[in-house]
Amino acid sequence: MKRFAWRLQRVLEIKTKQEQKERAELLKLTETLAERRGELLMRKKMLKDVIDGLAAVDPKKRLGEQEFFLRHAGTSDEQIRKLKDRISGLESQQKEKIAEVLKIRRFKKGLEKLRVEAKRQFIAEQEKLEQNELDEAAVVSFVRKSLS
């Protein structure tokens, strides 16, 4: 029996590799996003701790510390805003990457279904050819026995 050879096998292999590559990029992007979110939470927590610390300090000493805090609060707010912008950019990139992975996966699934159907047809054709050969062999055998 002949071996099954599907013409689109190479395309399926390329799509599989492409999906793996895109998934790896998505994972890397997700890790970066998680790091940035962690950094944002850490900065917010640090600011909250400083504010809580100022509230606990004696009012006479607090004034100088509050002045120092307010001078640097603008910088901290700017860094937090930049982090939020970066996070939103990463989230949009992540959504795009997910859409790409899903698109490739759907295409690949379609190819796999085509391959299964082609293999089923191939097997059916091979079985039909084999049955024809067996029928011919039986007829030849019958004719030989009849002639002898």
Q: Is residue 102 part of a domain?
A: yes
Of 36, 129, 18, nearest in space to 86 by CA: 36
Each residue's pLDDT tens digit, 20-46 = 999 999 999 999 999 999 999 999 998
Q: What is the pLDDT at residue 109? A: 96
Angle 9-56/59-147 helices, nearest 10 degrees?
160
Q: What would the DSSP string read from start to end of 34-53?
A: HHHHHHHHHHHHHHHHHHHH
Q: Evaluate whether residue 132 is within a structural domain.
A: no
Q: pLDDT for 81-139, tens place per residue?
A: 999 999 999 999 999 999 999 999 999 999 999 999 999 999 999 999 999 999 999 99
- Number of structural domains found in the chain: 1
Contact, 46 vs 97, CB < 8 A? no
What is the span of the domain harbouring residue 64? 9-108
**Over residues 68-91, mean pLDDT:** 90
CA 102 to chain centre: 7
- pLDDT of res. 1: 58
Report yes or no on 91 lying in a domain: yes
